[in-house]
Structure 1
C-alpha cells in the first residue's frame, strides 16, 4: 500500500491500515474575523516567506467541517491562539461556544503571559477544555515567562495536552527554539506538550526533548511534505529517531491553512518507510490517547 495522492483516496488509506479514522491534533477553526486575518497574511506570504502559500481549504465553516469529517478526522480541534494581551480570554469563550455547537469538537483553549492567566486557564479547564494551543512565534513571548507558571501548573495537574509551536520555522522569533521549552519542562516535567511541526527547524533538538521527557510529543504538521522539504528538510537520519519515538509522534496537519491537499500529509508520512505499525500509532493511537478517543478494537 502506498500513501494517498488525492483526498478521495484518504478514507480507503486509513481503512486499509485497520483504523477507525484519523486522530489529527492540529486542526484550526477560528473566529471568522481572526481567520480572515490569517488568510490575508497567507495571501502575502511571498513578502513574509519568499514564496506563495495558497490556502487550499478556503471554505465557509460548514464546508470545512464537512471536508474534515469526510477525510475521516474523528475529532475537530479549534486551536485558537492570541497575538497580544487581553485576547486569550475571549478566544477561550469562542472555543467554548464552538465545542457546544459542534458535536465532534475537541474543547480547546489558549493562554498568554499576562495578569490573570491562571484565573482564565482555570475557568477554561472547569468549562471542559481538554486541549490547549500556544504559539510562541505569533505571540512573541517566552514560554518560560514566569507569568505563565500558574497556567503551566494547572495544565500539568490536569494532564491537558498543549500543542506548542516553538520551532523557528517558518520564521524564527526572539523566543523560538528548544531552550525556553526545556526551561519550562525543568519546572513542570509532567507537562504534556505536543511540539508542533516536529519542532522544525530544530528537528533534532526537539526530538531530544521528547527522548528525555516521556510526556513530550511531536506532531507531524507539514513535516516531510514537498512544500516543507524544499526549504526546511528533515536532517539525515531523523526518520529513524521518529521510528524510535513511535509512541510520542502524533498526526498533525494544519488544516485548513495548508498549501496542498490533506492527502499529501499522509503520503509524506507513508513515504518515510517506517511501516504500518508506526503509521497506525501515529495516525490514530497516539492522538486518540491524547484527545480521549476510543482505542482501536482488537
Structure 2
C-alpha cells in the first residue's frame, strides 16, 4: 500500500493508480518503437537469449504498433519515447527518419532519434534536431563503442547546447561489455559536464556509481527501467542502503519513469508496483511518474 492506495496488480489497475496520486497520467521516457523488420530481429534476438541478453526473456507485448500505442493510451501513458538504436554504422539516419515520422503520426510520442560514431553523425543529428527531435538514445552495449569516441565529440557538443536529453544505456545490465560501466560515462561527463543525460536502468548493476554522477552533474538524471521488478531483482537488485539517495534524487526531479515497453517479460503494471512498494512517498511517485518528465519535456 501507498498513501494513494493499493499498488496496481494488473494493467487494468494502472489508471486507478495514477488517478489516486492526482496525476493527469504517466510519462514514460524509455519506450521502444522500431521499423517492423528491425523489431522482428530484436525480438528474435531476445527469443534466442542472445549473448547480450544472457537469460530467458519472453517478450510480453508482441503486438502491432497500433495495438501497442492503444495499450499505452489505455494505461494512461500520455507521453512516451520511440527509442531506436543502431548496432552498426549506416543505420542511424534511416532510423531517425522512421522514428520522427512515427512521432509525427502518433500523438503523445516524443520525437526521438539516435546516432552512432561515424563521419555522418554530426550531419544527421543536426537534421534530427532541426526536425524537432526531443530525446535521443545511445546504447553502447549493443552498439559496441565508447561514449568518448572522438567521432562523437561534435554530436555531444550539439546536444549539450540544444539541451536535448540523451537516454544512455551505459550500465553493464543485462550483460557487460568492454564499453559499459560508469567509468566511460564519467569520462564523457568530464568532457561535457552540461550534457542532459538520462541513465537507463538506474545504471544497473552499478547503481551507487551512477547515483554519484547524478548528484555531481546538474543535468544528469536516471530512469527506472526494469528496476524493482521481480525479473530484475533476481540478478541485480537495487541496494536498500541507497534508497534514501534515490528518494532525494527523485524529489529533486532526477528520477524518471522508464519501462522498456514492449520488450519486457511481465505486465507493465509490475514496473509501477515495484516503485510503489519502495514506500518512498507519494510526492516521490508523483515526481517520478509524471512531474519530472513534464518539466523536462514541457508537457501540458
Q: TM-score, normalised by structure 1?
A: 0.96
Match of 1:258 among 237, 259, 264: 264
- Residue of structure 2 equivalent to 1:248: 254
1:14 aligned residue: 18
Matched, 1:290 2:274: no
Conserved in 2, the CA contact under 8 Å of 1:243 and 1:274? yes
Other-structure match for 1:166:
170
State how 1:1-298 maps to structure 2 within 5 Å: 1-45=5-49, 49=53, 51-246=55-250, 247-294=253-300
**d(CA) in 2 for partners of 1:287, 1:62:** 24
Question: Structure 1: how far apart are the matches of 2:164 and 2:54?
Answer: 36
Cα distance in structure 1, aligned partners of 2:32 and 2:152: 23
The number of equivalent residue pairs is 294
Mapped partners of 1:47, 1:188: distance in 2: 32
1:235: how far off? Answer: 1.8
| 3-state SS, counterpart of residue 262 of structure 2 | coil
Q: Which runs of 4+ in 1 moved over 4 A?
A: 46-50
SS in 1 for 2:78: coil
1:92–1:48 CA distance, 2 compared to 1 (3 A): closer
Stretches of structure 2 lacking an aligned partner (at least 5 in a row):
none
More deviation, 41-50/250-259: 41-50
* In structure 2, distance between residues paired with 1:90 and 1:122: 14
TM-score, reference length from structure 2: 0.96
How far is the alpha carbon of 1:101 from its aligned partner?
A: 1.4
CA distance in 2, matches of 1:266, 1:138: 27
Contact 2:78 2:108 in 1 (8 A): yes
* Whole-Å separation in 2 of the counterparts to 1:2 and 1:158: 41
Separation (CA, whole Å) in 2 of partners of 1:10 and 1:249: 20
- Contact 1:25–1:291 at 8 Å: present in 2 too? no
Deviation at 1:48, TM superposition (A): 5.7
Give unpaired runs (5+ residues) of structure 1: none
Residues 140-177 of structure 1: per-residue CA shift (max 9 Å, x gap) = 00011111011101101110010000000100011101
Cα distance in 2 for residues equivalent to 1:277 and 1:252: 18
Contact 2:82 2:109 (C-alpha < 8 Å) held by counterparts: yes
Q: C-alpha distance in 2, partners of 1:242/1:30?
A: 31
Q: RMSD of aligned C-alpha atoms?
A: 1.1
Q: CA deviation at 1:239?
A: 1.3
What is the CA distance between 1:291 and its match in structure 2?
2.4
DSSP 3-state at the match of 2:77: coil
CA contact (8 A) 2:198 2:222 kept: yes
Check whether the contact 2:7–2:272 (CA below 8 A) recurs between aligned residues.
yes
Deviations 1:266-288 (A, max 9, x none): 00000111000000000001111
Q: Are 1:46 and 1:52, in contact at CA under 8 Å, matched by a contact in 2?
A: no
